[in-house]
Amino acid sequence: MPSLPLPFHGPGRTRRSTAVPHIRVPTARAVVDCAVYVDGSRLPGRYTHEKALAAARERGGFVWLGLHDPDAEQMGEVAETFGLHALAVEDAVHAHQRPKLERYDNTLVMVMRTVAYREHELHTVSEIVETGELLIFTAPDFVIAVRHGEHSPLATVRRGLEADPARLRLGTGSVLHAIADHVVDSYIDVVQAVEFDIDAMEEEVFTPRTRLTVEAIYQLKREVVELRRAVNPLALPLQLLVHKEELPIDPEIRRYLRDVADHHTGVAERITDFDDSLSALISAALTKITVQQNTDMRKISAWVAIAAVPTMIAGIYGMNFEHMPELRTSWGYPVVLVAILGICLTLLALFHRNDWL
């Protein structure tokens, strides 16, 4: 039997790609920690999220589940267990959400942007502020923290709360406050680091005879804008947690959240001041560059004027006319040289007196 010819793939046609089989990653790979807390204390042992929720409901406690970069299938399995709303689950899978607070029945969903400062050289143009995302599901019997990004881990927050059972007895709201307080504290650290950079740039701009690249200032201003977009929108969710009494938040937790909101307001005001300072710093740097360019142009013009004297005299005597002053005298050449030198020295002295050289 003759073999069939292979299909022709001409220009502009692509070969049919072989489908790559989907490999399902277990949900446990995305779990950072899963624990059950009863009466302010962590129950011993390791739990899956299903068993943890069953144990918490049986003993009147709550689950604290931490996830890092879960995919759609992993988050879907968690959502099925805890009864999460589909829209909130979609936000948890797809990062880059704006900070916000939403309520789905008895579940609060709070989105926060995390920030981290990256060490860098002052004059280099590089990323300075790294951003991530943190989404918190809070209900009476569970807290789910979904983190995107490699910074701002919550292990220290968990250890701090476990060392304070009195706060954990206040319920899942204590976890929400602790995470929000941790995020705002990280804002303060980043703002202080950025402030040091701005102070260093300001000192260099206003120091005489320094060369500061404007690109570095523009880069820092862009990073401050990114920081403002991550930090400032969190003000509204915090105010809602503090003032909206119909939200399921313990009154004692509201007092703590009010302190977090105050700290956040201070951070937002400092970031606004940074933006104004950098705008003024860019104007000052551009003015300094303009002054430096004018100084350079004056120096160039002064040297051109000095060089024009011997050029002009040499050009006149180079025309080779027969009748020219002092052309046939033995002392004409040295006289011309002395005249050129004298005029050049006079111009040099005048330019120095006028600060052109």
* Average pLDDT per 10 consecutive residues for the chain, totaling 357 residues: 43 48 72 91 90 92 92 90 89 85 91 88 71 92 91 88 91 93 93 88 76 77 89 93 87 91 93 86 77 76 80 75 67 76 81 73
Tokens 């204390």 map to which residue? 41
Q: What angle do CA 273, 277, 280 make, to 5 degrees?
A: 145
Strand 62-68 relative to strand 31-38, pairing: antiparallel
Tokens 């805890």 map to which residue? 82
With contact defined as beta carbons under 8 Å apart, do 347 and 309 qualify? Answer: yes
Q: Where are the alpha helices (DSSP H) in the chain?
A: 49-59, 72-82, 86-93, 155-162, 165-168, 172-205, 214-231, 235-243, 251-317, 332-353
CA gap 62, 140 in Å, rounded: 7
103 SS3 class: strand
CA distance from start to end of the chain: 95
CA gap 237, 67 in Å, rounded: 22
- What pLDDT does 42 receive? 92
- What pLDDT does 123 receive? 63
113 SS3 class: strand
> Residue 217: what residue type?
I
CA gap 58, 290 in Å, rounded: 74
Q: What angle do CA 146, 148, 154 make, to 5 degrees?
A: 60
- What pLDDT does 122 receive? 65
| Structure-block tokens of residue 220 | 């820092």
Strand 107-117 relative to strand 142-148, pairing: unpaired
- What pLDDT does 246 receive? 85
CA dihedral 316, 317, 321, 327 (to 10 degrees): 140
With contact defined as beta carbons under 8 Å apart, do 229 and 214 qualify? Answer: no
- What pLDDT does 200 receive? 84
| Structure-block tokens of residue 212 | 């500061």
The neighbour count for residue 223, using CB atoms within 10 Å, is: 25
**pTM: predicted TM-score of the whole model, two decimal places:** 0.76
